[in-house]
Amino acid sequence: MSGRALVISIIVVAVLAAVPPFLNGYARSLLYITVLYVALAYAWNVISGYAGYLSFGQVTFFGLGAYTTAIAVIRAHLPWWEGALLGGLVSAALAVPLGYLMLRLRGAFFALGMLGMAQTLQVVANSWQLTGGGSGLFLPPGSNALPVYYWTLVIGLLGFATTLFIDRSAFGLRLQALREDEQVASTLGVHVTTTKVWAFVISAIMPGLLGGGYAWYLTYVEPVSAFATRIDLQAVAMTILGGIGTLWGPLIGGVLMSQVSEILAAQYPQAYLMIFGGLVVVLLVLLPRGIAPAISAALERRRARAAQVQR
């Protein structure tokens, strides 16, 4: 990251941290949802963007985090954030064996396998007494919005920092190598399985932590919304639009999609999904690799031209 990008980032973070107490409920919830989705997009981007394993089931860990937190608060009377930390831990613990199992599958099989995983947990939540069955679990109500917002912001920042690390580290290079060709990576000395399971664990911890906050924010958890495929699709679409496997993609795609969809929903409540879908398609036709790579390419061209002028 250049010096200027760093300064801009610090200002953006400072604003994101300072502003919420002064916002009304609607603006605050919009900001929360935006930050939540950006954070989920950063999580998804590790396993799917850098490692190349498209997943339609990272919401498995989001729901797991939400339920773990609700159960921890109701049964063990833990503070919600301890419950959410536990949610992250449980997600990581599940991700290790699940990763060894699922990451043998390639392409659509992995994507569908993860989708099946989310559906399975949904069924379990629906029928288990501990999780309150179809009606779910209710948490003590209260003014939960601000702490959850900051919790989510911190995890989003961790997601960004993790991606920054991956983008510049040996681990990240190995991930990208196995994304391009797993067999070649292995004959060049890359420990393929270990590397991708690590990526999967990172992509599981974050939704686990975020789901806990979400449960506390809504003050309830129920099977359908906790394991909603829609949540995954949203994170997937945001990342692809912003630039899959890039540092800035999830942020750019996330902010853009949440704002535009919000504005459209207010203006055209009936037709907004159609317009929105159309916009995404048009953008992806124009910029097939997403927005972030297009911006980098433009900056690169400008730098090259400036260098030429100097000579």
Partner 1 sequence: MSTPLLEVENIRRAFGGVHALDGVSLRVNQGEILCIIGPNGAGKTTLFNIISGVMRPSSGDVRFQGQSIVRWPPQRIAEAGIARTYQIARPFARLCVRDNVAVAALARERTLERARRAAQDVLESVGLASLADRPAGSLTLTQRKRLEVARALALRPKLLLLDEVMAGLTPTEIDAMAVFIEQLRERGIAAIGGVEHVMRVVMRISDRIAVLDFGKKIADGTPVEIADDPRVGEAYFGTQIDETGAGPSFPLKGRP
The footprint of partner 1 (CB under 8 A) covers 168-170, 173-174, 176-177, 180-181, 183-192
Hey, what are 65's tokens? 């985090």
Least distance in angstroms from the C-beta of 172 to partner 1: 8
Q: Which is nearer to partner 1, 253 or 293 (CB)?
A: 293
**Helix, coil or strand: residue 52:** coil
- CA-to-CA separations, 39 to 9, 185, 236, 298, in angstroms, rounded: 15, 29, 12, 26
Answer whether 110's CB lies under 8 Å from 102's CB: yes
Q: What is the smallest separation between the CB atom of 288 and partner 1, expressed in angstroms?
A: 13
CB of 177 to partner 1, least distance (A): 4
> Among residues 75 and 106, whose Cβ is nearest to partner 1?
106
CB of 305 to partner 1, least distance (A): 18
Residue 231 has a CB neighbour count (10 Å cut-off) of: 23
Smallest distance from the beta carbon of 2 to partner 1, in angstroms?
18
Tell me whether residue 10 or residue 101 sits nearer to partner 1 (CB atom).
101
Name the minimum Å distance from CB 40 to partner 1.
24
Least Å distance between CB 189 and partner 1? 3
With contact defined as beta carbons under 8 Å apart, do 253 and 240 qualify? yes
Residue number with CB closer to partner 1 (168 or 305): 168
33: burial class by Cβ within 10 Å (0-12, 13-18, 19+)? middle
Query: How far is residue 307's CA from residue 311's CA, in Å, rounded to a whole number?
Result: 7
Q: Which is nearer to partner 1, 174 or 226 (CB)?
A: 174
Q: Which is nearer to partner 1, 143 or 187 (CB)?
A: 187
Return d(Cα 44, Cα 145) in angstroms, integer.
Answer: 24
Which residues, other chains included, contact 144 with Cβ-Cβ below 8 Å and sequence gap of 6+? 80, 216, 217, 219
Q: List 221's β-bridge partners, or say none.
A: 137
| Angle in degrees, CA 230, 21, 15, rounded to 5 | 80
Nearer to partner 1, 150 or 171 (CB): 171
**Residue 253's closest CA among 5, 45, 9?**
45
List all residues 6 or more positions away from 143 whose beta carbon is below 8 Å from its beta carbon: none
